[in-house]
């Protein structure tokens, strides 16, 4: 093979190495984490009556990663149904050319079938109350409304599969061992629920 | 071809078949890489076209990855497949690119389990090389990807922070399992190819042998053709020599016959000449005595003219006999003319020796022939008969004719008691004679036979009569009266 072709081979391998590394790093770079109060915010309009643990999942309806989170949630449901109340908070985004969004009604029906409450979060009010910044942000509150877990349900960006979040939720059902001062946590992968320029201070009550 | 050579030939064919498979598989992969590139871009646009920050969007990184990584992944193996088809380099490039395409699709689909099947499909595609090498490459890359990601981002592979080593086996086990199955298939396939190669080598050997035999046959044919040509030329030469000899012999025979005739002809001419001489003297005597009356004069002169005519006839027959044949073509001649000419040359001789000559009525037929040759034959038979009956108490010669089915037979029979069988067998051979030295040349019967056969007829000795009989049969007789 000529020197040029050897160079081509080298360039090819290097390009692939760089390209796949970049893709992998991107896939495993988490979004901004939520740091909510340890107790359920009293100003929230989300239902939390009854002494029942509640799982909140914040989703950007157009983010492609949301499909992976929903898939993982559906995988969890057979285990947590009737034991944990599940609420999916959909950020209300203006309509646009998104496959996921076009099927929003279909998704809502799918969730309803799993006895999942769907809440449309106008202007991201609830998201701000719980400090949720990244689509896929999941919060588990115990029956006393204390935060047990904060993180995501996917192992990487838009990637399905077992994750630390799933493990944490299942561990709660097995018998919570975590102290209320230090909730379990994992990384969350997804699009930003709101523009990064907007801060928590700008949240309207 | 020896066994060793056959083995080498089979090896060469086997290598060629493997390379042919590799070449064809490269062509399949070229199309596959184009297809996969399109699929990757479509999949990225379909599943994750944009990423979001609130209500603002930008092109998703997957779209860039699908386009640029897909382009890089496809272009180089396509280049190798076009420039180095059927080589290990192209095969290795395809294996690497195909492995990475699996990883790309898994990324783009968000780890959907269905896209993991791409690895197994890729293994099946790579198996068409009938070579374990690309399968090992794909397995190693897949294992390396799992190990590296398991080390740096274990949750991306196994979903938990601390992966159990058994999980590695669980994921790669299926790949290895397919590898084992494919290994056996490849082995069986290569065995089959080897059998085909041996069979082809055998076929080539048989073809070579057939070619050798054909070449040998062709050489023999060439040699045979050459020999045939040489033989033919020799035959033609011999035939020409024989023809020349035959002509020469015929001429000699004719001269011999002429010589033999000379004595007879002397008689033929001498007798009428003596009569003319006597009559002329007698007329002179009568004239001298004054006794010549006009009646007597007429009577004697008529006799003289008659004798002169007779001599003239003999001379004409002789001239006709001795002249050269002007044409090789057969001419239609009346049988009567042939017989008359022949008789004119021998009848006086027979008469002078008090030998009875019986001539049956000559039928009104014509014979297509060379008249001189047929007359020569008949004269020869007459002379032989004349010689044969010398010294016998009963001396006669008879000529009969039989006409049947467009043929005429001239039967020359003499009072001889036949010819002994041992002589009859040889008598038509050249130079065979029973006559005393200086009298016969031995050419007569053999030449006569040749002449008659050249006319499409036959000359046979008929042994069943108790006498000596020769039959001349001539074809093509017209059963109508022909003016000679």
What is the number of residues in chain B? 484
What is the number of residues in chain A? 205
- Residue B162 has a pLDDT of 45
Q: Does residue B213 carry a pLDDT above 90? A: yes
CA-based nearest residue in chain B for residue A96: B55
Residues A16, B69: C-beta atoms closer than 8 Å = yes
Architecture of domain A31-195: 3-Layer(aba) Sandwich (3.40)
pLDDT digits (tens, 9 = 90+) for B328-337: 688 888 898 8
Beta strands B331-334 and B366-369 are: antiparallel
Q: Shortest CB distance from A159 goes to which of B49, B69, B111? A: B111
Residues of A within 8 A of B107 (CB-CB) are 23-24, 27, 159
Using the Cβ of A196 and the Cβ atoms of chain B, whether some distance falls under 8 Å is answered with yes
Residues A23, B107: C-beta atoms closer than 8 Å = yes
Q: Given the structure tokens 């009266």, which residue do they identify?
A: B481
pLDDT band at B166 (very low <50, low <70, confident <90, very high): low
Coil/strand/helix, residue B469: strand
Task: Enumerate residues 6+ apart whose C-beta is below 8 A from B60.
Answer: A64, B44, B48, B49, B50, B51
Q: Shortest CB distance from B53 goes to which of A1, A97, A196? A: A196
Q: Given the structure tokens 């590296």, which residue do they identify?
A: B148
Q: What is the C-alpha to C-alpha distance for residues B313 and B301, in angstroms, rounded to an integer?
A: 18
A-proximal residues of B, 38-57, CB under 8 Å? 46-57
Structure tokens at B135: 């399968």
What value, to the nearest 5°, has the Cα angle with vertex B109 and ends B66 and A10? Answer: 40
Using the Cβ of A68 and the Cβ atoms of chain B, whether some distance falls under 8 Å is answered with yes
pLDDT band at B7 (very low <50, low <70, confident <90, very high): confident
Residues B52, A93: C-beta atoms closer than 8 Å = yes
Does the model's pTM come out above 0.95?
no
Residue B94 · residue B126 · CB < 8 Å? yes
Residues of B within 8 A of A62 (CB-CB) are 50, 52, 57
Residue B283 · residue B292 · CB < 8 Å? yes
Q: What is the C-alpha to C-alpha distance for residues B170 and B217, in angstroms, rounded to an integer?
A: 69
Phi, psi of B153 (to 5 degrees): -130, 70
Q: Does residue B66 carry a pLDDT above 90? A: yes
Phi, psi of A133 (to 5 degrees): -115, -25
Using the Cβ of B162 and the Cβ atoms of chain A, whether some distance falls under 8 Å is answered with no
Residue B327 · residue B372 · CB < 8 Å? no
Phi, psi of A30 (to 5 degrees): -75, 160
Q: Given the structure tokens 């081509």, which residue do they identify?
A: A8
Residue B140 · residue B123 · CB < 8 Å? no
Q: Does residue B9 carry a pLDDT above 50? A: yes
ipTM: 0.82
Half-sphere exposure of B368 (CA within 13 A, CB side): 14
Task: Enumerate residues 6+ apart whose C-beta is below 8 A from A38.
Answer: A146, A147, A180, A181, A183
Domain ranges of chain A: 31-195
Residues of B within 8 A of A16 (CB-CB) are 69, 72-73, 100
- Residue B259 has a pLDDT of 66
Please give the average per-residue pLDDT across B87-100, as a whole number: 92
Buried b (16+ CB within 10 A) or exposed e, B31-56: ebbeebbebbbebbbebbbbbbbbee
Please give the average per-residue pLDDT across B178-201, as a whole number: 92
DSSP-derived secondary structure for B225-286? HHHHHHHHHHHHHHHHHHHHHHHHHHHHHHHHHHHHHHHHHHHHHHHHHHHHHHHHHHHHHH
Using the Cβ of A90 and the Cβ atoms of chain B, whether some distance falls under 8 Å is answered with no
Q: Shortest CB distance from B156 goes to which of A97, A156, A166? A: A156
> Nearest Cα to A63, choosing from B102, B110, B107?
B110
Partners of B358 in the β-ladder: B398
Please give the average per-residue pLDDT across A3-8, as a whole number: 75
Residues of B within 8 A of A192 (CB-CB) are 52-54
- Residue B341 has a pLDDT of 82
A-proximal residues of B, 98-117, CB under 8 Å? 100, 103-104, 107, 110-113
Buried b (16+ CB within 10 A) or exposed e, B174-204: ebeebbeebeeebeeebeebbeebbebbeeb
Partners of B366 in the β-ladder: B334, B478
Q: Does residue B283 carry a pLDDT above 70? A: yes
A50 min Cα distance to partner chain B (Å): 33
Number of Cβ atoms within 10 Å of the Cβ of A201: 6
Domains recognised in chain B with CATH numbers:
3-213 (no CATH), 329-484 (3.30.565.10)
Select the residue from B44, B50, B54 to test the A interface by mutation, using most A Cβ atoms within 10 A: B54
Q: Does residue B480 carry a pLDDT above 60? A: no
Phi, psi of A199 (to 5 degrees): -110, 175
Residues of B within 8 A of A26 (CB-CB) are 61
Residue B387 · residue B353 · CB < 8 Å? no
Q: What is the C-alpha to C-alpha distance for residues A148 and A137, in angstroms, rounded to an integer?
A: 14
Report how far apart, in Å, the C-alpha atoms of B326 and of each of B57, B323, B373 are.
124, 8, 12
- Residue A85 has a pLDDT of 93
pLDDT digits (tens, 9 = 90+) for A13-72: 999 999 998 988 888 899 999 999 999 999 999 988 777 899 999 999 888 888 889 989
Q: What is the C-alpha to C-alpha distance for residues B6 and B263, in angstroms, rounded to an integer?
A: 90
pLDDT digits (tens, 9 = 90+) for B344-377: 778 877 887 888 889 998 888 888 888 878 888 8
| Residue B335: alpha-carbon gap to chain centroid | 47
Q: Does residue B430 carry a pLDDT above 90? A: no
pLDDT digits (tens, 9 = 90+) for A74-130: 999 999 998 999 999 988 876 655 555 566 777 788 888 888 888 888 888 999 999
């Amino acid at each position: 093979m000529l020197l040029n072709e050897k160079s081509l081979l080298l360039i090819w391998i290097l390009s692939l190495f760089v390209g796949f590394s970049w893709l992998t790093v991107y896939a495993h770079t988490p979004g901004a984490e939520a740091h909510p109060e340890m107790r359920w915010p009293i100003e929230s309009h989300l239902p939390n009556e009854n002494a029942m643990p509640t799982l909140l999942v914040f989703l950007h309806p157009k983010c492609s990663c949301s499909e992976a989170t929903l898939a993982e949630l559906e995988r969890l449901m057979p285990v947590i149904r009737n034991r944990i109340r599940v609420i999916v908070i959909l950020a209300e985004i203006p309509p646009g050319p998104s496959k996921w969004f076009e099927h929003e009604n279909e998704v809502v029906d799918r969730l309803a079938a799993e006895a999942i409450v769907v809440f449309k979060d106008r202007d991201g009010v609830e998201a701000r109350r719980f400090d949720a910044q990244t689509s896929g942000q999941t919060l588990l509150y115990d029956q006393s409304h204390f935060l047990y877990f904060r993180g995501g349900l996917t192992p990487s960006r838009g990637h399905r599969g077992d994750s630390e979040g799933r493990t944490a939720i299942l561990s709660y059902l097995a018998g919570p061992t975590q102290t209320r001062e230090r909730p379990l946590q994992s990384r969350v992968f997804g699009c930003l629920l709101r523009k990064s320029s907007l801060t928590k201070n700008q949240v309207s009550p | 071809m020896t066994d060793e050579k056959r083995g080498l030939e089979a090896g060469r064919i086997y290598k060629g078949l493997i390379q042919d498979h590799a070449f064809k598989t490269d062509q399949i992969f070229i199309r596959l890489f184009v297809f996969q590139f399109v699929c990757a871009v479509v999949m990225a646009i379909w599943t994750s076209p944009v990423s979001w920050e609130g209500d603002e969007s930008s092109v998703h990184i997957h779209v860039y990855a699908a386009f640029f990584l897909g382009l890089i992944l496809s272009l180089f193996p396509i280049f190798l497949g076009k420039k180095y088809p059927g080589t290990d380099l192209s095969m290795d490039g395809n294996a690497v690119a195909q492995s990475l395409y699996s990883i790309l699709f898994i990324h783009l689909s968000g780890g959907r389990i269905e896209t993991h099947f791409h690895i197994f499909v890729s293994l099946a595609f790579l198996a068409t090389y009938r070579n374990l090498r690309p399968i090992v490459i794909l397995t190693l890359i897949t294992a390396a990807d799992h190990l590296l990601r398991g080390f740096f981002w274990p949750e991306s592979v196994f979903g938990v922070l601390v992966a159990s080593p058994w999980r590695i086996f669980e994921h790669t086990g299926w790949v290895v399992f397919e590898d084992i199955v494919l290994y056996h298939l490849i082995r069986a396939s290569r065995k089959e190819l080897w059998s085909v190669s041996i069979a082809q080598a055998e076929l080539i050997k048989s073809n070579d042998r057939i070619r050798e035999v054909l070449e040998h046959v062709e050489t023999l044919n060439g040699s045979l053709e050459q020999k045939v040509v040489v033989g033919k030329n020799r035959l033609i030469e011999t035939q020409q020599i024989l023809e020349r000899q035959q002509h020469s012999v015929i001429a000699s025979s004719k001269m011999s016959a002429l010589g033999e005739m000379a004595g007879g002809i002397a008689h033929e001419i001498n007798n009428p000449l003596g009569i003319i001489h006597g009559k002329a003297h007698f007329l002179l005597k009568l004239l001298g005595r004054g006794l010549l009356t006009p009646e007597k004069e007429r009577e004697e002169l008529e006799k003289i003219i008659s004798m002169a005519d007779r001599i003239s006839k003999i001379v004409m027959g002789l001239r006709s006999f001795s002249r050269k044949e002007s044409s090789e073509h057969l001419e239609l001649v009346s049988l009567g003319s042939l017989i008359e000419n022949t008789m004119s040359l021998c009848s006086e001789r027979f008469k002078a020796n008090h030998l009875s000559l019986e001539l049956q009525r000559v039928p009104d037929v014509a014979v297509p022939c060379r008249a001189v040759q047929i007359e020569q034959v008949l004269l020869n038979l007459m002379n032989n008969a004349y010689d044969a009956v010398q010294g016998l108490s009963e001396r006669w010669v008879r000529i009969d004719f039989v006409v049947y089915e467009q043929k005429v037979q001239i039967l020359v029979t003499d009072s001889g008691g036949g010819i002994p069988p041992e002589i009859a067998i040889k008598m038509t051979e050249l130079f065979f004679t029973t006559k005393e030295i200086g009298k016969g040349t031995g050419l007569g019967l053999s030449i006569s036979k040749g002449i008659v056969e050249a006319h499409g007829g036959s000359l046979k000795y008929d042994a069943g009569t108790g006498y000596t009989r020769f039959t001349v049969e001539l074809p093509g007789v017209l059963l109508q009266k022909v003016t000679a």
